[in-house]
Structure 1
Amino acid sequence: QTAATARDARTSVMEFRPALVVLDVGLPDEDGFAFVQRLVADGLKVPVIFLTARDATEDKVRGLTVGGDDYVTKPFSIEELVARIRVVLRRHQPAAAEETRRLVLSDLELDEDTHEVVRAGQAVELTRTEFRLLRYLLMNAGRVLSRAQILDHVWDYDFGGDASVLETYISYLRRKIDWADPPLVHTVRGVGYVLRVPRSA
């Protein structure tokens, strides 16, 4: 199913409930970022891959922040696009039944089933990508993770080595969970990041 405008795309999403949407940012009647924001606001949950010539880091970050699952820049190969589609679809497959899991570090708690995060008794609102990033850090609490490891596990690919996207999301996490003491997100210069309670805490 194809659509040439944001209006037609929205109608198609509502009517056909597709497994995935491949979206150009430069729609003739609406910015693609705004289109996805409206889908999310209206509760229309559908995986989205942005496909665009806009390759600036701020555009990539914005696309992922508003609710995109991947961001592919032109030129691209069909093989690469198909591979990324498969990754996103696999990520959104219903998980097999498993026991409720809660990840805890100090006064930080993450519930994998409800997608709720609490720090020092206060609920923390995270985007889907921020949640995946925090979950991966919590699963490896105390272990220093390289930028490449985090990009591979959270985004399933390395953004072509564009580590600034990761740094931006680490900054988002720090603002949202490190308002309380002790700070938990730490940079290991020249290596990567680690989630841990400071030894002096």
Structure 2
Amino acid sequence: MSESEKYFVFMFPAKSEIRDLLNLAVFILNPREKWPAHITVAGPFRRRPSARAQAKFKSSAFSLGAWNFFSEGRSTVYLKAGVPNIRKYWSKPDFIGNPVPHISIYNGKDLDTAKKIFHKIEPLRLIFGFNIEGIEIVRSSSQRQFDLRSSVNLEVMPGLQGMKLDDAAALSIEDRIDFAAEALAKCKPSPPLQQDLPFKF
């Protein structure tokens, strides 16, 4: 195994319109991103984790609004995620403190862009539920740029329908932020969820 090769354990949203909207937001904000929307629950590891981690897994999950890692010097904007019994699966050697399960919406190198994204989507109060189906072990060296691209469905956003991925990627960052915010806002249920959330703010 090469020095840069690492293993992670991901939870992916189940096939749904919400998954399409999350993938669209991730792509439109950073067309160079490779992984579809996911929650990383374990890793990085130098050795492949037990295959038991890939056992059938179904769970509900919740978005708990937009957050960021700016104070840690990272240009990352994410949706905090609540997953029941997450501690059973959580194992991140490089993360100190309580688990912070999340879906990264933007994980780039431009802090100014990250701040623009956060200030656009944080007021949306993105609290919504979705399903998780399956836990998958992934290898960093197998990460390919078309993994996310093959998962993006522009047809879920009226303003992008009929457009090619490269044309959408070439839009101005302001337009792309607006489309991402619109996509994420469509995830928000109406009326709001009327059930207790497994995690609190």
Which one has the largest radius of gyration? 1
Could you state the TM-score of these two structures normalised by the residue count of structure 1?
0.23
Higher relative contact order (CA 8 A, sep 6+): 2
Name the one with the larger helix percent.
Answer: 1
Could you state the TM-score of these two structures normalised by the residue count of structure 2?
0.23
